[in-house]
Amino acid sequence: METKNASKSSWAAAFAVASVWFGTHVGGGFATGNQVIQYFSQYGWTAAIFPIIAMGILAMVIYVVMSFAKLSGFDNYKDTFEALYPNPKMEILFEIFYIVIILAAVASAVAGAGEVMANFIGIEYVGTAKLLCNVAIVAVLVLLSVFGIKLVMAASTVLSVAILAITACVIFSGLTADMDSVVSQYLTANNLEPVAYTDDLFGSIWSGVIVYAAFQCVSIAPMIAASSQLTMKGIKRSAILGCIMNGGALAASGYMLSKWYPVLKALQGAGISGFTNALGIPNQTILNIVGVRAILVLFSLLLFCAFVSTCVTLVYTMVQRFQGICLPNVIKSEKARSAVVGFIVILICFALSLLGLSNIIKYAYGYDGYFAIFAVVIPVLIWGIPKVRKLKGIQKNSQYEVNSGNLVAEN
């Protein structure tokens, strides 16, 4: 029994659970660099520090929720938040946050995949081109949702590992590039000056620390399920490892992109051919400039597949969540209800995708992050921490009574 409990509290078991958080976080938004630019790199030096603080805050929130779920015997977010909030009906707050962030994630994945396609074939991702690229992605999405969901889910883990590895190569390429040569070739040749960083310390704290940590609470739901078999020690270790893994990767990407931001922003602002959307997928733009063709091709392919995989997986999640309540008395067939829900979700996400990746990440993620501050983060800290302490006290007293009873029996 002790050996079994030891395995559930080991660093290896904790690492497996922390990897769920890492896989949820380090998706297409991170891999493109767009999300990192908007929330961290545009502010300069803070991009190497604030990601670690943001992930520290998120680690605390996730740790409290995982601990509460474990001590209460729950393995899903619905039961957990119904018990955590002072009124069970308040669980709808987390539902709203979670649904909005999933819809935004699918929409950003459609827009991101369309932009990757446009950049790779060398056309501007605007107007008709944007519409056609996004329609093409939706067509692929519908086909895979109908015929290839098992294949996509089976490949999602491999894709996550591959996109992480190739993103590490992008970060290394960006950090080791000869910036003097780049500035001479692009800025000097076009009589441009590097753009200054956004000088707003309060804004960088609000956006890069508080709001970013809040909308990344999307990781809570899968972490509750993943940690259900861990002991309390294992849960603490998973939160620590998750903070290190996510904070470290985010800080490295933030630092690299902060180095490139003044150049890319100048080229985009001047409307230089090939750079009118330089910050749409900055990691792809950097690879184009550096000229690492093999990495560029592989990165574009993997990023495209990761976006499509995200779309299919999240649409499937929404279908599973809502098909049971989609007019069950009118539409008797489960497959028909699933098709209706899937069509509605894809239609909404396609419409949102036309806003473009940058706008979705800035506004949809941002405003849902504002909502999450008051609907998720603050409630977890106000009500979750005291309830976890109370449950730990009850558990400790129960163990003491059991141990005392055993001693009496032995005597």
Residues 37-51 have pLDDT tens digits of 999 999 999 999 999
Residues 237-288 have pLDDT tens digits of 999 999 999 999 999 999 999 999 999 999 999 988 878 888 888 988 998 8
Evaluated on CA atoms 23, 26, 32, 38, the torsion sign reads positive
What does 327-347 look like in DSSP terms, one character per residue? STTT---HHHHHHHHHHHHHH
Greater model confidence, 40 or 318: 40
Residue 12 amino acid letter: A
Please tell me the least confidently modeled range out of 45-49, 147-151, 247-251, 292-296.
147-151
pLDDT for 35 beyond 50 = yes
Q: What is the mean pLDDT of residues 190-195?
A: 92
What SS3 class is residue 87?
coil
pLDDT for 406 beyond 60 = no
Distance (Å, whole) CA 282 – CA 277:
9
What letter would DSSP give residue 185? I
Whole-prediction pTM value? 0.86
Share of the chain above pLDDT 90, in %: 41
pLDDT for 340 beyond 70 = yes
pLDDT bin (cut points 50, 70, 90) of residue 150 is low
pLDDT for 143 beyond 80 = no
pLDDT for 401 beyond 60 = no
Distance (Å, whole) CA 59 – CA 63:
6
Contacts (Cβ under 8 Å, ≥6 apart) of 9: 230, 231, 232, 233, 234, 237
pLDDT for 55 beyond 90 = yes
- Per-residue pLDDT at 408: 47
Q: What is the mean pLDDT of residues 187-199?
A: 92
Contact 26, 164 (CB under 8 A): yes
Greater model confidence, 75 or 140: 75
What letter would DSSP give residue 85? S
- Per-residue pLDDT at 399: 62
pLDDT bin (cut points 50, 70, 90) of residue 407 is very low
How far CA 55 is from CA of 5, 214, 250, 368, in Å, comes to 28, 10, 9, 17
